[in-house]
Structure 1
Amino acid sequence: MTTTHPSGFAPAASPLAPTMIHTPDEAISAGITSIPSQGDDMPAYYARPKTSDGALPVIIVVQEIFGVHEHIRDICRRLALEGYLAIAPELYFREGDPNDFADIPTLLRGLVAKVPDSQVLADLDHVASWASRNGGDAHRLMITGFCWGGRITWLYAAHNPQLKAAVAWYGKLVGDTSLNSPKHPVDIATDLNAPVLGLYGGQDTSIPQESVETMRQALRAANAKAEIVVYPDAGHAFNADYRSGYHEASAKDGWQRMLEWFAQYGGKKG
């Protein structure tokens, strides 16, 4: 898991910014668990309220390229404070450890590209199943993801018919296909099972606005229940408070929009 590095972050995520947020965990229960998936034991981080009046709404949190590091764990803690059971599975665990890669290009080539979408989607199904057996409400299943996880969030919204809502943060929308990544979000716009909110940065050089508009057109053509919000002054990873590209105003607005989206489509808490 990506918990082995002293900083709580994979080396490729460096340098760390002083804006990093740490959410206190006094009111929640959080920790590491193991989820049976496809014959393996998949590590995952979870966070939930310490007390609840029944089964909790579930949000699967899908990692960035850096794995389930401290920022993703903090996202889970923030969601737990909002009344959710949040689970972030280590989706690279079979292929390797993000801590073994010193920079982003080698991490992408040496690890991320080796992880098949089909394997990831099946693992997420097992996360949903685990949640339903561990205090989560299977009828209130949601997902959110960031960067690499944002793309996966779109794909999972077309994969699982039980999903109620999804929020994708700056996930790639178009691209070349491969055996491991045969489709991108633009290819599955007609297949969405749940309402999807996409949150993107207008200054994101890795996701050009042309690709965002292409996705919007595909969603309109499919008459899909989806919305894409673009923050004009934000770049890529604008919610990543541990990185220099963090854009506080956009991140706070996106977080509130996410909570409202989940409340509207995912089912009431409590």
Structure 2
Amino acid sequence: MTDDRDLAGTEADGVSRFPLGRRAVVTSGLISGFTLATARVEAQATHTDAAGIVAGETTIASGRDHLPAYYARPDGRGPFPTILVIEEIFGVHEYIKDVCRRLAHAGYAAVAPELYARIADLSKMTDAKAIIRDVILKAPDAQMLADLDAAARWSADVNHGDGGRLGVTGFCRGGRDTWLYAAHNPRLRAAVAWYGPIGGPRSPIQPRTASDMATKLNCPLLGLYGGQDKSIDIAEVQAAARHARRAGRIVEIVVYPDAPHGFHADYRPSYRAADARDGWQRMLDWFRRYGVS
């Protein structure tokens, strides 16, 4: 159990900011605003307010480190069903924070840890290719899985979360990590992957692809993909889903024919409002259907 005295902070308008933990990592906090690694921020970017919820920044102990994280939950004692939110390659910036607030308004205790904090400060990086080369491909999957386990424990201990009602969702690289985490944590009830890569290179620190783990899923998984996504082979995604179903797993893949990669990312030109709304509702329905809420 985390000592609440270590997390004591101030709250204003439902937004909390807690001091950093005793052990520092590379990043001293989360990105303020949107990532610098996209060309521009679109006018349609959603801002969800904190009225009726509690939201803010904190740190989460994972091993010997404290990782920056963002959380949001309904205002009340709970316990609330918990959703782990896995970032894109761009870090826990305003878009991911807003996703957490949206989930809180839907009744969930959401938490998004900054999984790459040990490697680099994503708030200062502007080149997406450099982020992939120098950060993403250098992040061990075992550490990512352990950090998500730590976030789930933190939510149950501190964020009024219900550890027995646990779900996960992730975007882009976080979608890929959603597949892996669903194969890792037997306590998960449901998972939703947004355009997560299925294949990709293997390495000693990233030894398995999402496709490799499809037959080992511990919970029902919903995959939301764009038919115009140039970075993901939809046929490969469907093949992974078939392998999973033959192994007795529950996997549903929804493909939006005209959507590109990142169609839920409302701060980018890739955003497709109708598909994003439909995917969001399907996600909430999936969590309800399989007992997260």
TM-score (norm: length of structure 2): 0.88
Cα distance, 1:180 vs structure 2: 2.0
Cα distance, 1:176 vs structure 2: 1.9
* 1:167/1:258 contact within 8 Å kept: yes
Mapping 1:62-81, distance limit 5 Å: 62-81=86-105
Q: CA offsets per residue over residues 99-119 of structure 1, 9 Å max, x none? A: 232211111112111111110
Are residues 1:198 and 2:216 paired?
A: no
Are residues 1:127 and 2:151 paired?
A: yes
Secondary structure of 1:190 counterpart: helix
Q: CA offsets per residue over residues 119-138 of structure 1, 9 Å max, x none? A: 00001011111111121111
Secondary structure of 1:12 counterpart: coil
- What is the total number of aligned residue pairs between the two structures? 265
* 1:62/1:144 contact within 8 Å kept: yes
* 1:12/1:66 contact within 8 Å kept: yes
Percent sequence identity is 52
Cα distance, 1:4 vs structure 2: 4.4
Mapping 1:1-270, distance limit 5 Å: 1=27, 3-5=30-32, 8-52=33-77, 54-134=78-158, 135-268=160-293
Letter in 2 for 1:183: R
Secondary structure of 1:164 counterpart: strand
* 1:62/1:88 contact within 8 Å kept: yes
Cα distance, 1:13 vs structure 2: 2.2
Of 156-165 and 95-104, deviating more is 95-104
Secondary structure of 1:72 counterpart: helix
Of 195-204 and 217-226, deviating more is 217-226
Structure 2: runs of 5 or more not aligned = 1-26
Secondary structure of 1:11 counterpart: coil
CA–CA separation in structure 2 for the residues paired with 1:44 and 1:194: 25
Of 98-107 and 232-241, deviating more is 98-107
* 2:214/2:241 contact within 8 Å kept: no
Q: CA offsets per residue over residues 31-51 of structure 1, 9 Å max, x none? A: 111111011111110001112
Aligned match of 2:3: none
Secondary structure of 1:151 counterpart: helix
Give the structure, 1 or 2, with the largest relative contact order (CA under 8 Å, sep 6 or more). Answer: 1
Q: CA offsets per residue over residues 193-228 of structure 1, 9 Å max, x none? A: 111100000000000222222222222322211111
CA–CA separation in structure 2 for the residues paired with 1:132 and 1:176: 34
Please identify runs of 4+ aligned residues in structure 1 that moved more than 3 A: 1-5
- Two-structure CA RMSD over aligned residues (Å): 1.3
CA–CA separation in structure 1 for the residues paired with 2:31 and 2:149: 26
1:57 to 1:51, Cα distance in 2 relative to 1, 3 A: same
Letter in 1 for 2:185: N
* 1:3/1:9 contact within 8 Å kept: no
TM-score (norm: length of structure 1): 0.95
CA–CA separation in structure 1 for the residues paired with 2:233 and 2:75: 42
